[in-house]
Amino acid sequence: MAKEAGKSKGENLAQVDPSLSTLHPSLIPVIAIDGPSASGKGTVAQRVANQLGYHYLDSGALYRLVALAARQRGISWQDAPALAALTQTLNIQFDNGGILLDGTDVSEDVRTEQTGKGASEVAVHPEVRAALLDLQHSFRRLPGLVADGRDMASVVFPDAQTKIYLTASAETRAERRYKQLLEKGMQADFGEILRDLQQRDARDSQRSTAPLQQCRDASLLETDHMTIEDAVHFVINAYELQKK
């Protein structure tokens, strides 16, 4: 999912000084947060964006939308050329926290485990990744962007001002997801969740194109024993420090 995270201070600035609206994209700050599934990076990234009044890009939602649209149109998650062609024609709208695909609200459908599995299958194809690149770049707007995913720091925004690799052990992540499902009143099997996460980690980190990895210039943020607030504080602090 990608959406406006808050009131855009920079856009106000650009209204005052029109020259700012023609800023080269590389001058617009980006905080790139990468990490494995269920690490909590989405929650942290969204809160950081809110606090700074920056835009927010949830790149995983784009891969989920490709998987969902393919399923609806009978396209196999293995058919790279057809998926790439489909990606070019997707009609996606982000509307007040909701996601519309061809005018239909798919906010719930993109979040299912099935769509998540499909996303990690379509994401192995270099053609699909390339087809999503321009769309991801278009989120880099004033006053800044917080982007989360797997390859934000390595491929999509290699010149990001701040790069964070946010992770936690597979057991901690499985436990968090298990609790979330129970809180929603859903049935959950801890062992199955852990196995799914480990399979997803393996697929994401072993693929040849844009694998999940900690870049050499990214700060490691291990959240096993941290609250969300601590993690948000860490990211904002890292960003403020690099500005000095």
Interface residues with ligand C5P (CB under 6 A) are 37, 59-60, 63-64, 116, 119-120, 123, 149-151, 200, 204
Q: How far apart are CA 132 and CA 88, in angstroms?
A: 8
* Nearest by Cα to 166 from 68, 233, 86: 233
Which residue lies nearer to ligand C5P by CB, 52 or 122? 122
Closest distance of CB 223 from ligand C5P, Å:
15
Q: How far is the CB of 18 from ligand C5P (least distance, A)?
A: 33
Q: Render the burial of 56-69: b for 16+ CB within 10 Å, e for the rest.
A: bbbbbbbbbbbbbb
Considering beta carbons, is residue 10 or 139 the nearer one to ligand C5P? 139
- How many CB atoms sit inside 10 A of residue 103's CB? 7
For residues 34 and 153, the answer to whether their CB atoms sit within 8 Å is: yes
240-244, long-range: CB within 8 Å, 24+ apart, which pairs?
242/161, 242/162, 243/161
The distance of closest approach from Cβ of residue 88 to ligand C5P in the complex, given in angstroms and rounded to an integer, is 18
The nearest distance, CB 136 to ligand C5P, in angstroms, is 8
- Closest to ligand C5P by CB, 63 vs 94, is 63
Given the complex with ligand C5P, which of 14 and 123 has the nearer CB atom? 123
